[in-house]
Homo-oligomer: A and B are copies of this chain.
C-alpha cells in the first residue's frame, strides 16, 4: 500500500490493481509506454475525465463527479469569461515581455492592488515551481546566505533546487545540502511558540555548521503537512526568528492564495505578516500556465543589479489576459466571500457528521481549504481508512484526495464557486461512505 509513511504519494494508482474497463487499461498501457515510470495516476481505479463545467467533471460514460479537490480551476472549470479571454488574446498577439505591451502591466497593477503597498513588484513565471525557484535565487542574492528552512512534509515544487526543499517528494529525492526541515505546526495552545522553537533550533544548527540562513519558506495553510490553519497569527514568532537571524520570510501562496481562505486574498494576511516575497501559482490562470513572485523592492535590488530575468512565456500577452480574467471573476463573483460562507457551512457540516462517525477526527479548516483527519476506532491516524473513503467517494461521484505525512488527512479543496448545495451533496455522499468503512 502507498499510504502510511512519509514521502509516498497518498491516493496513487497501483499499476495492475483496480478494476478498469478495457479502454482505460489501454490508456494506462499507453501512458507507461509513452510517458515512462515517473508519472502517477490518482485512485485505485483511475478516473477518465473528458469534460469540465463549473464544479462538475464528467467521465467518458457521462458520469458526473463533484470536484471537491482541484484548486487550479479555482473559478470553476471552463469559466466562460476566462475561456473567452484566452481565445480572444490568442488570436491577436501572444508575444513576450521584451516588447512593450500594456496587458502585462494592467494585470500586474491589478494584482499588486491586492497586496500591501510594501509588496510592489511582481515577476511572472509559468509555474509555482519556477516562482519558488526564483525566490530561492533572489533570497540567496539578497542575504548572501544559503540555508533554507521548510516544514517536514512541505511541497514547494519540482525544479532541482525546489525539489530539494520538498520533503513530501520522499526519501528518494535528496534535500538540498543547506536545507533544514522543522516540525509542522501542531494544533493546540502553543502552536506558535512550538513552531518558532523548531525554526530557532534549525537556525542554531545551521549556524553551528557555518551556514548563513537565507529564508524560511512555508505554505501558509501547510497543505501537504496536513492543513494547519489556526490560530490565525501563530506564524508570527517563527517569522521574527528567521528575520532576527538575517533571513527572509517567503510565503508560498500557491495553495491558499486568490481568496481561498475566505479571510483574505492571501494566507499570510490571516497571520498578520508582511512577507519579503510571495509566490503564486495554480489558481492564477484557472488552468493556463501562469505563476508569479511578488517582492518587496529592496529584496530584489541585489539580484536585479547583477542578473536579468527572462521567462519566455512568463507574462506573455495571453497569460496576462487570462490571469486578468480570473482576477475579475474572483472580484466580480465575490469568491472570497463565497469561500468564507460556504467554507464555514462545510466545516460545520463535517463537525456535525463527526458526532456520529468515529472515523472523523480533528478538522482543520479555513474557507474552502479543509483538512479532515481520519482515525481508527482508537482515535489513531488511519491512512488505510482515509484511502477507502477517498476511493469510495470517487465511486459515489465525488473527487477528493488525501495528504499529510501519514496520508490520513482528507484534503478538501474545491473550486471557489462551490455552493451550499454542493456542500450538501458532498456531506450526503460522505455519510453513505462512512457507514461502509
Residues of chain A having any CB pair with chain B under 8 Å: 9, 12, 24, 27-28, 30-31, 33-42, 46-52, 57, 70, 72-73, 77-78, 80, 82-83, 86-87, 90-102, 104-105, 108-109, 112, 120-123, 126-130, 133-134, 136-137, 158-161, 163, 169-173, 281-282, 286-290, 295, 297, 300-301, 303-316, 318-319
User: Once the chains bind, are B295 and A36 in contact (CB under 8 Å)?
Assistant: yes
Q: Which 6 pairs of residues, A with B, have the shortest CB-CB distance?
A: A172-B306, A37-B304, A94-B287, A87-B87, A36-B121, A289-B313
A305 contacts B37, C-beta separation under 8 Å: yes
* Contacts known (A136-B160, A281-B312); A109 close to B49, Cβ less than 8 A: no
Instruction: Tell me whether A36 and B300 are in contact (CB under 8 A).
Output: yes
**Contact, CB under 8 Å: B130 / A159:** yes
Between A47, A87, A123, A313, the greatest number of chain B beta carbons within 10 A of the residue's beta carbon is seen for A313
Q: Contact at A307–B169, with CB atoms within 8 Å?
A: yes
Contact of A78 among B93, B130, B170 (CB under 8 A): B93
A-B contact pairs, 25 of them (CB 8 A): A27-B102, A33-B120, A34-B109, A34-B122, A35-B104, A37-B304, A40-B308, A48-B99, A49-B93, A49-B101, A50-B92, A50-B101, A52-B94, A72-B95, A72-B312, A82-B90, A83-B87, A126-B313, A127-B313, A129-B311, A158-B309, A158-B311, A282-B312, A288-B289, A288-B318
List chain B residues, Cβ under 8 A from A310: 39-40, 158
- B94 in contact with A78 (CB, 8 Å): yes
Q: Give the chain B neighbours of A120 by CB distance below 8 A.
A: 33-34
Are A101 and B48 closer than 8 Å at their CB atoms?
yes
CA distance A301 to B28 in the complex (A): 18
Q: State in angstroms the CA–CA spacing of A120 and B34 once bound together.
A: 6
6 extra A-B contacts, CB within 8 A, seeds A133-B160, A159-B160: A31-B100, A34-B120, A73-B95, A87-B91, A159-B161, A169-B307
A46→B144 CA distance, assembly (Å): 34
Q: Which residue on B lies nearest to A80, using beta carbons? A: B91
Q: Are A83 and B90 in contact (CB under 8 A)?
A: yes
The reply to whether A70 and B46 contact each other, CB–CB distance below 8 Å, is: no
- Report which of B27, B123, B130 forms a contact with A130, defined as CB distance below 8 A: B130
Residue of B nearest to A254 (CB): B312
Contact A36 B78 (CB under 8 A): no
Report how far A78 CA is from B318 CA in the complex, Å.
Answer: 11
Chain B hits for A83, CB < 8 A: 87, 90-91
The distance from the CB of A41 to the nearest CB of chain B, in whole angstroms, is 6
A301 contacts which of B34, B35, B37 (Cβ < 8 Å)?
B37
Chain B residue with Cβ nearest A96? B72
The answer, among B95, B127, B136, for a CB contact under 8 Å with A57, is B95
A316 nearest in chain B by CB position: B287
Nearest-Cβ distance from residue A291 to partner chain B, whole angstroms? 9
Residue of B nearest to A290 (CB): B289
B281 touches A173 (CB 8 A): no
Which B residues touch A87, using CB under 8 A?
A: 83, 86-87, 90-91
